[in-house]
């Protein structure tokens, strides 16, 4: 996906509609600085506002993501498939980065926990023991919470029984037995408890 091309296309369509960056930004509910970043190719519009942007500029999602008007149905279908594959690759890359961050947080969090527990054992007095032990527990809870949030945002779980891909609840993610990236979960579709594999894209 060529961000510069998309940016030029957004600017062209905006001008054709007789809109300034400020007016376009106001209609969408964002800053004109964000629109400027799109048009210079520094950023892409967030997926949550793409439909509204397309409606204002009178283009479709494929035209927006491609950075050009679609003239024929054949061209439209070809670009639609290309854009879908690009978006899936970007989602997968984003999920991989999140899972990498999860590993870093796990390592740092658990090292900090054990260091603080060890320090509390050798603390010079009981007050320091309590402070360090409490700090270690808080550190552990924060680490588990951050890891669970990342785990929920990065990809999906696939039911071994029916193939349903879904995002489990935060409680299920924290307390479900797991083997690496596989968790023992209840599928919301078939209702069976199975070992569900982590998938990065649907």
40-71 pLDDT, tens digit per residue, is 999 888 878 888 999 999 998 888 888 888 76
Q: What pairs with residue 182 in β-bridges?
A: 179, 197
Q: What is the CA radius of gyration of the chain?
A: 24
82-141 confidence digits (pLDDT tens): 777 777 777 788 888 888 888 899 899 999 999 999 888 888 788 888 888 999 999 999
User: pTM of whole model > 0.75?
Assistant: no
Mean pLDDT across the chain: 87
Domains of the chain listed by start with CATH number: 3-69 (1.10.260.40), 95-199 (no CATH)
**Whole-number pLDDT of residue 194:** 92
Token representation of residue 104? 């870093």
Task: Tell me what pLDDT residue 7 has.
Answer: 92
């Amino acid at each position: 996906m060529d961000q510069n091309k998309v940016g030029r296309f957004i600017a062209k369509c905006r001008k054709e509609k007789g809109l300034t960056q400020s007016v376009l930004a106001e209609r969408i509910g964002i800053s004109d600085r964000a629109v400027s970043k799109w048009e210079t190719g520094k950023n892409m519009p967030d997926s949550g506002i793409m439909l509204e942007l397309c409606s204002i500029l009178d283009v479709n999602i494929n035209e927006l993501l491609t950075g050009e008007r679609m003239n024929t149905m054949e061209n439209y279908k070809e670009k639609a498939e290309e854009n879908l594959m690009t978006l899936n690759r970007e989602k997968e890359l984003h999920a991989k980065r999140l899972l990498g961050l999860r590993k870093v947080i796990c390592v740092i969090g658990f090292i900090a926990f054990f260091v603080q527990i060890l320090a509390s054992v050798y603390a010079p007095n009981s007050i320091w023991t309590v402070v360090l032990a409490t700090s270690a527990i808080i550190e552990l809870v924060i680490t588990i919470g951050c890891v669970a949030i990342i785990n929920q945002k990065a990809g999906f779980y696939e039911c071994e029984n029916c193939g349903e891909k879904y995002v489990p609840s935060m409680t299920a993610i924290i307390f479900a037995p797991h083997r690496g990236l596989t968790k023992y979960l209840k599928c919301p579709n078939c209702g069976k408890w199975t070992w569900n594999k982590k998938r990065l894209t649907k």
